[in-house]
Amino acid sequence: MSSPESASSEGRRNFLRRIGGLAVGTAGSVGASPAAPSRDTTDSLVFMSATRLAGLIRARKVSAAEAVDAYIRRIESVNDRLNAVVMRAFDRARQEAIALDRRARRRDFAGVLHGVPMTVKDSFDTEGVISTGGTYGRQQYVPSQDATVVARLRRAGAILLGKTNTPEFTLGGVGGINTSSNSLYGSSHNPYDLTLTTSGSSGGAAAIVAAGGAAFDIGSDLGGSIRLPAHMNGVAGLKTTAGRVPRTGHIVGYGGVLDTWQQMGPIARRVEDLALITPVISGPDFRDAACAPVPWRDPHEIEISKLRVAYFAAAGAFRPDDATRETIRRAVGWLGETARAVTESCPVELFEALNATRSKLTMGDGWAWYQRLADKWGTKNVSGEMAQTIASTPQISTAEYVRTWDEADRIKSKLLAWMGSWDVLVCPVAKGPATPIDRIFNAARDGGSLGFPGVFNSTGWPVAVVRCGTSADGRLPIGIQVVAAPWREDICLAVAAYLEARSGGWQPPPI
């Protein structure tokens, strides 16, 4: 197990090696480069970082078959309780591992993820493996083609073990996106406390990665769906910049009025893995028309000492619990030791105004877009309360809808100008740690605000989440959001890695 101290000194050693001119990876060279150096020192195959595991497989200290077997055993031991992996592809995974090991003996590596076992959120198409997206209409749906991100990961050598649970269409289901529950597979459970939610919508993904059932997973985020589960399951996640990663083959894919809100990204135990995986899945695919070929920048080139940090622990009606505020306070303290400037700032009126446009734009057409999604996939009965919600939501006029859209974009402009004063924003993901599965947040009952995860979907800015704290009772993880300006995932990841080194980041769950 890595202690914070050893991780930190390991990080410094790596940093010194790199500024000496070694291994500065770019998106273009990643596929052909040697193994990325890892700062992780964990020995357990199923708990070490994906980066470390990839290095060991490449060095032939561990075979892909051994790794796959270890992860399969782990899934078999924990999944009865977690219900995170909802479809398995174990036989194929074992066969792929054998083939990749054969290639490794010839030193013919598929890519930076050669032999690394992964799971993928069930909202992504996976060739040959049932991909339901949590909806009845796709109960038996076996895609003939991988989603773009899945194809890219498999081409880079990753091995798919199975699919992870998501609410219907990543949005509805039972209890909305604040849980990972649907009528097909039921609820996923939090590995730190089985009575608690994994949050959603990438809840199955975050829970299984936290529990050591996969080296990493790929999630999607339309309103917090990577970040909330990463936070509540104590793992690292990256919601990429809008336009970075294609959505082709995701159940809510490219197109439509909410298109720019939907971003994809990896969920892993360690921040270094996010930096390894994201360049593999980035870049246009000639299907998703909103992707731009913006070069990927190496997080190792970021110097924390040059950064201007903004932070907030609470803002407006958003009043996180004591442990969450304390987590931010500690993170800010660590940053204060190194960063150029640390300033409390939150444009809360803009955040609240943007949140208001989000609900209007989501529901303005009376959920017609959601109904069309259900129709497209042949789902007659949508899960949970969605049918009732659809039936009871009136349409607004198109003129009003367009006015709301204009208003949202005006706010986004103001936020972009605000962000020009900072390099990074550090803030809570949610009010507190995971909540009971059967007690989903209800604004009327619980009061206050859930926070602002959706704001960064509307703006399309990149956000990393990393565990930085623990609940008051010492049991539950608390993650924080590390937000940067568009296309600056490198800053998110550098700051998240720094905070991970100081806090220890992911800790093994008791399960």
Partner 1 sequence: MSASRLAKLIRSRKISATEAVRLYIARIESVNPKINAVVATCFERALLEAQLADAALSRGSNVGPLHGVPMTIKDSFDTRGVVSTAGTLGRRDFVPAKDATVVARVRAAGAILLGKTNTPEFTLGGGWKGTHNLVYGLTRNPYDPRYQAGASSGGSAANVAAGGAAFDIGSDYGGSLRVPATVNGVVTLKPTYGRTPRTGHIIGYGGPFDSFQQTGPLTRWVEDLALLMPILCGPDDTDCAMAPVPFGDPAAVDLSKLRVAYAIPEDGAPEVKAALLDCVKSFEELGCSVREDAPPKVKELSAARSAFTAGPGPDWMQRLLAANGTKQASPGLWYGGEETSCADFTRACEEMDALKSEQLAWIQGYDLFICAASARGGALPVDDGELERARSQMDRPSRSLSFTGNFNTNGWPAGVVRAGVTSAHPELPFGVQAVAQPWRDDVVIAALAHIERMTGGYVPPRLPA
Which residues contribute to the site for partner 1 (CB under 8 A)? Answer: 243, 254-257, 259, 284, 286-289, 292-295, 364-366, 368-369, 372, 395-399, 401-403, 405-406, 409-410, 412-413, 416-417, 420, 459-460, 486-487
201 catalytic? Reply is yes
Pairing between β-strand 236-239 and β-strand 159-164 as defined by DSSP bridges: unpaired
Are the C-beta atoms of 114 and 64 separated by less than 8 Å? yes
Question: 236 - beta bridge partners?
Answer: 268
In the bound state with partner 1, the residue whose beta carbon lies nearer, of 206 and 373, is 373
* 128 residue type, one letter: G
Q: CA–CA separation, 51 vs 54, rounded Å?
A: 5
- List, in order, residues 6 or more apart from 403 with CB less than 8 Å away: none
Nearest approach, Cβ of residue 147 and partner 1 (Å): 14
Nearest approach, Cβ of residue 410 and partner 1 (Å): 6
Region at 173 (left for phi over 0; alpha for psi -120 to 50; beta for the rest) = left
Nearest approach, Cβ of residue 132 and partner 1 (Å): 22
Question: 427 - beta bridge partners?
Answer: 481
In the bound state with partner 1, the residue whose beta carbon lies nearer, of 397 and 442, is 397
Question: 125 - beta bridge partners?
Answer: none
Tokens of 392: 């009871």
In the bound state with partner 1, the residue whose beta carbon lies nearer, of 19 and 391, is 391
* Residues 107, 111, 113, 118, Cα dihedral to 10°: -110
In the bound state with partner 1, the residue whose beta carbon lies nearer, of 181 and 357, is 357
Nearest approach, Cβ of residue 485 and partner 1 (Å): 9
In the bound state with partner 1, the residue whose beta carbon lies nearer, of 119 and 148, is 148
User: Could you tell me which of 506, 331, 290, 322 has the C-alpha nearest to residue 424?
Assistant: 331
163 catalytic? Reply is no
Q: CA–CA separation, 231 vs 424, rounded Å?
A: 18
Nearest approach, Cβ of residue 402 and partner 1 (Å): 4
Tokens of 473: 């009772």
For residue 396, count CB atoms less than 10 angstroms from its CB and return exposed for 0-12, middle for 13-18, buried for 19 or more: middle
Are the C-beta atoms of 216 and 149 separated by less than 8 Å? no
In the bound state with partner 1, the residue whose beta carbon lies nearer, of 77 and 260, is 260
Q: CA–CA separation, 217 vs 50, rounded Å?
A: 10
User: Could you tell me which of 253, 267, 169 has the C-alpha nearest to residue 464?
Assistant: 267
In the bound state with partner 1, the residue whose beta carbon lies nearer, of 162 and 279, is 279
Among residues 225, 449, 458, 471, the one annotated as catalytic is 225
Nearest approach, Cβ of residue 285 and partner 1 (Å): 9
In the bound state with partner 1, the residue whose beta carbon lies nearer, of 208 and 361, is 361
Pairing between β-strand 236-239 and β-strand 263-268 as defined by DSSP bridges: antiparallel
Among residues 38, 49, 63, 121, the one annotated as catalytic is 121
Q: How far is CA 384 from CA 221, 222, 246, 358, 395, in A?
A: 20, 19, 29, 22, 21
Give the angle subtended at the CA of 227 by the CAs of 184 and 87, to the nearest 5°. 30
Nearest approach, Cβ of residue 284 and partner 1 (Å): 7
In the bound state with partner 1, the residue whose beta carbon lies nearer, of 71 and 367, is 367
Among residues 2, 123, 188, 201, the one annotated as catalytic is 201
Exposure class string for 172-194: b at 16+ Cβ within 10 A, else e: bbbbbbbbbbbbbbebbbbbbbe
In the bound state with partner 1, the residue whose beta carbon lies nearer, of 428 and 460, is 460
Q: CA–CA separation, 396 vs 267, rounded Å?
A: 37
Q: CA–CA separation, 484 vs 215, rounded Å?
A: 26
Nearest approach, Cβ of residue 299 and partner 1 (Å): 17
Are the C-beta atoms of 511 and 74 separated by less than 8 Å? no
Nearest approach, Cβ of residue 256 and partner 1 (Å): 4
Q: CA–CA separation, 277 vs 52, rounded Å?
A: 13
* Residues 373, 376, 379, 381, Cα dihedral to 10°: 50
225 catalytic? Reply is yes
Nearest approach, Cβ of residue 429 and partner 1 (Å): 23
Instruction: Give catalytic residues, as residue numbers.
Output: 121, 201, 225
